[in-house]
Amino acid sequence: MSERGPRRVVVTGLGAVSSAGMGADEFTASIRAGRRTTSPVRSFDTTGFPHVHAGEVHDFEPRRWLRGIDPGQWGRSSQFAASAARLAVEDAGLAADDLARTRAGSVMGTTSGESAVIEELVGAWAADGLKALPPDLVGSAPAGRIAAAVNSELGLPGEALTLATACSASNYALGYAFDMVACGDADYMLAGGADSLNRWAHAGFYRLGALAEEICRPFDTDRSGILTAEGGVALLLEPYERAVARGARIYAEVLGYSVNCDAEHMVHPDPTSIAACIRAAHRSAGVEPEQIDYICAHGTGTRTNDATEVAAVREVFGERIPPISSIKSMIGHTMGAASGFGALICCRALHDGFLPPTAGVRRTDPDLGPGVDPVPGQARLAQPSIVENHGFAFGGNNAITILGRVT
């Protein structure tokens, strides 16, 4: 049934806009050190919210990073995505003009699209009624602008696709980009995701009892929920042969991926369905469970997610669970960008030789069962060969990517 494209696909460029810094180097250094970069929210008024911490990108200056588009005409998520993509192309050592002459495109994931724009519109509505909506803001509201911003910034002539599959969206994007490059539909693809902080999600997660007060502690006995966050991330994918021919630095090979849907409940993940997704991802990559050296967890820090995720992993891996950590412990939950940041750190882990940590773990929750190694504290030196990157979403949307070291 499955019809894999004939080309091997590798990641040669990484870009990040995050609370942990700009660019893949700053981001990676921050994560390796186990530094927590969440902080009190400044981008919206938090008066009346009992919990006010989030992974905000403070003092983001789009004009410093963007060359092709005028940031004033694009929303915050689009600016994040385009900046991350620009950084990824630079990181890949590609001249943007050369890239624009190829069949290059982008596919970006998001949960809430241009939510900061929508909240500005809501502000105008609350103040003066719907007839007072500022027309230029209306034009910036569609979520599809996120991938469009990437293509506009870089002058890419190929597809510009925005996938709104919530918190697994970047993995969805990475899988699609992989197929497009593998089958020859595209010469290069930028894949990733972007989301902006917003009041409504902060209120919604608080109301659901899923928002931590100050610290997100995945896998810890005392974990109490997520911290909302924002940012943009992009990975540049190209065929292995071309990367080698142009002498590019290859971070990792995309080995395969899988997507499925629990079809059970909008907000409760289902371990059996997640386990099925993990198995399908292994089949797609042609690997066995014992070959997986590390799992970059969805690891939101809610009691339910972490318990369900470990149960699903246990179902597939049995007694030996690979080290499993969550970078959300440091940067919070960047929503549609989350599995993109996971993929980015997986690429660096494979290339640089380390396992990303989980910050803030004081006691690994015994209820998760034996053998759970969340890599507490700081990064651990290691030489992982094949790693697994999890993304689960609202609506029971699961997406898992498998990345491997190219030796």
Partner 1 sequence: MPRTASALTTEQDEILRAIVIDVLELEPEELTDTSSFVDDHDADSLLAIEILARIEKDLGVAIPQDDLTQMTNLDGVRSVVSRCLKEAADV
Partner 2 sequence: MTSAAVAPASVATAPRRTTNPLAVTPLAITAVGAVSAAGIGLEALGRAVVEGAAGYTDPSGIGEESLPPRPVRIVPDLPVAELLGRKGTRHLDRTTKLALVACRLTLDAHPGQTGERSGVVLGTSTGSIRSSSEFSLETLRQERPYLVNPSLFPNTVMNCAAGQIAIRHKLHGVNATIAGGHLSGVQALRYARNALRQGHADRILVGGVEEFCAQSAWGWHLSGSLGTDVPVGEGAAMLMVEQDADASAAGHPVLARVLACETGYGTPGRLADALASVVSTALERCDRRPEQVGAVSYGATGLTGLQRIEERGVRAALGDRVPGRRVAVKEPVGECFSATGILQIAGLIGAWRHTAALAGELALVTAVARDGNVGCAVLEAGHLG
Q: Which of residues 207-226 bind partner 2 (CB under 8 A)?
A: 207-208
Rule CB under 8 A: which of 190-209 touch partner 1? 207-209
Tell me: does residue 245 bind partner 2 (CB under 8 A): no
Rule CB under 8 A: which of 101-140 touch partner 2? 105, 110-115, 118-119, 121-123, 125-126, 130-131, 133, 135, 138-139
Residue pair 331/56 in contact (Cβ under 8 Å)? The answer is no
Considering beta carbons, is residue 81 or 330 the nearer one to partner 2?
81
Residue of 333, 346, 347, 390 with catalytic role: 333
Considering beta carbons, is residue 101 or 265 the nearer one to partner 1?
265
Residue pair 36/189 in contact (Cβ under 8 Å)? The answer is no
| Cβ 180 to partner 2 shortest distance, Å | 8
Considering beta carbons, is residue 47 or 370 the nearer one to partner 2?
47
Residue pair 340/233 in contact (Cβ under 8 Å)? The answer is yes
The SS3 of residue 309 is helix
Fill in the per-residue mask, 262 to 291: x = in contact with partner 2 (CB under 8 A), - = not in contact.
Answer: xxxxxx-----x--x--------xxx--xx
Strands 160-163 and 104-109: parallel
Tell me: does residue 296 bind partner 2 (CB under 8 A): no
CA distance 105 to 89: 12
- Contact of residue 372 among partner 1, partner 2, none (CB under 5-8 Å per partner type): none
**Phi and psi angles of residue 324, each rounded to the nearest 5 degrees, phi first:** -135, 120
**Phi and psi angles of residue 358, each rounded to the nearest 5 degrees, phi first:** -110, 120
Q: Which of 63, 101, 268, 320 touches partner 1 (CB under 8 A)?
A: 268
- Contact of residue 271 among partner 1, partner 2, none (CB under 5-8 Å per partner type): none
H helix intervals, 286-404: 303-317, 328-331, 338-348
CA neighbor of 85 nearest in space, from 174, 191, 178, 229: 191
Q: Candidates 14-22, 176-184, 310-318, 367-375: pick the segment binding partner 2 (CB under 8 A).
A: 176-184
Residue 380 CA neighbour count, 13 Å, CB half: 17
E strand or H helix that includes residue 53: strand 53-54
Annotated catalytic residue 216: no
- Contact of residue 17 among partner 2, partner 1, none (CB under 5-8 Å per partner type): none
- Contact of residue 320 among partner 1, partner 2, none (CB under 5-8 Å per partner type): none
For residue 63 the two structure tokens come to 């004009």
Looking at the chain, the number of H-run helices and the number of E-run strands are 14, 15
Residue of 298, 346, 347, 390 with catalytic role: 298
CA distance 251 to 246: 14
- Contact of residue 293 among partner 1, partner 2, none (CB under 5-8 Å per partner type): partner 2
What is the set of active-site residues? 167, 298, 333
Using CB under 8 A, list all residues that contact partner 1: 207-209, 265-268
